[in-house]
Amino acid sequence: TPILEMHNIAKSFGQFYALKGVDLTVYRGEIHALMGENGAGKSTLMKILAGAYIASSGEIFIDGQPFAIKGPKDALAAGITLIYQEMNLAPNLTVAENIFLGSEIQRGGLVKRRQMLLEAQKVIDRLGAQFSAGDRVMKLTIAEQQQVEIARALHRNSRILVMDEPTAALSSRETHRLFELIKRLRDEGMAIIYISHRMAEVYELSDRVSVLRDGQYVGSLTREKLSASELVRMMVGRPLSDLFN
């Protein structure tokens, strides 16, 4: 059974349909790229998955069971974390406080705070990150802040990690590190969905690619069938050669 199935998802903003009945199937232990031209509906689809938007119609199945996602809490309960390009951290708080944001322990006394630091440090070490649980988030690089968000996802036992263009602000070295981490999480059984425009990255990282165009699902390619010309054809709706004629 797939860990996630999105069926016939539609989303309108007023009269305009950003998604016109999109399907997406994702398996555990898979790095799944979501591609499509700007405005194709990728971010909207992922925001629906994360409970940031409510779908106008369609169904979501988690582990084969229907699962209504009506808000961020439902997504959290389903084990879904979405990491946006604009990150979702409190810069004045420590790494540990951010990892535990919203959980009971953060409001506890001194003993609980010490326990929080230790637990946060464990998750950070598991990622191989270089910062400490007590560091303030505003002192961290973008790449490190991304790691804090991933640490929070692990702490919350997320099983589906969605990243919207995660390499946009990273150096090539940071990108390489992120990819090593994503692959490790994949090998531990997590499902990773990531939005990308960069063909070379998709080649390097993905086990499967799904393509959206104008709010519609075009199709998916497995790693074995990946080809740049086919991806471009799916994204723009005509063969690559036509673009130069």
Among 5, 22, 43, 174, binds Mg ion (CB under 5 A): 43
Q: Which does 24 bind (CB under 5 to 8 A by kind): ligand ADP, Mg ion, none?
A: none
Rounded-to-integer distance, Cα 226 and Cα 207, Å: 9
How buried is 66 (Cβ within 10 angstroms: 0-12 exposed, 13-18 middle, 19+ buried)?
Answer: exposed
Rounded-to-integer distance, Cα 88 and Cα 67, Å: 25
Q: Which does 44 bind (CB under 5 to 8 A by kind): ligand ADP, Mg ion, none?
A: ligand ADP
Q: Which does 18 bind (CB under 5 to 8 A by kind): ligand ADP, Mg ion, none?
A: ligand ADP
Binding flags for ligand ADP, 19-58, as an x/- string (CB under 6 A): -----------------x-xxxxxxx--------------
Pick between residue 39 and residue 64 the one whose CB is nearest to ligand ADP: 39
Q: Name the 3-class secondary structure at 172.
A: helix
Give the shortest CB-201-to-ligand ADP separation in angstroms.
16
Burial 68-84 (b: 16+ CB within 10 A, else e): ebeeeeebbebbbbbbb
Contact stretch for Mg ion (CB under 5 A) within 33-41, 91-99, 105-113, 134-142: 33-41
Task: Please answer whether residues 144 and 174 qualify as being in contact, where contact means their C-beta atoms are separated by less than 8 angstroms.
Answer: no
Q: According to the 3-state scheme, what is the secondary structure of 124-157?
A: HHHHCCCCCCCCEHHHCCHHHHHHHHHHHHHHCC
Give the shortest CB-167-to-Mg ion separation in angstroms.
14
CA 166 from centre of chain: 8
Decide if residue 220 touches ligand ADP (CB under 6 A): no
* Footprint (CB under 6 A) of ligand ADP, residues 77-136: none
Q: Are strands 31-35 and 191-195 parallel, antiparallel or unpaired?
A: parallel
Contact stretch for Mg ion (CB under 5 A) within 14-22, 41-49, 72-80, 106-114: 41-49
* Footprint (CB under 5 A) of Mg ion, residues 174-193: none
Can you give the binding site for ligand ADP, defined by CB under 6 A?
Answer: 13, 18, 36, 38-44
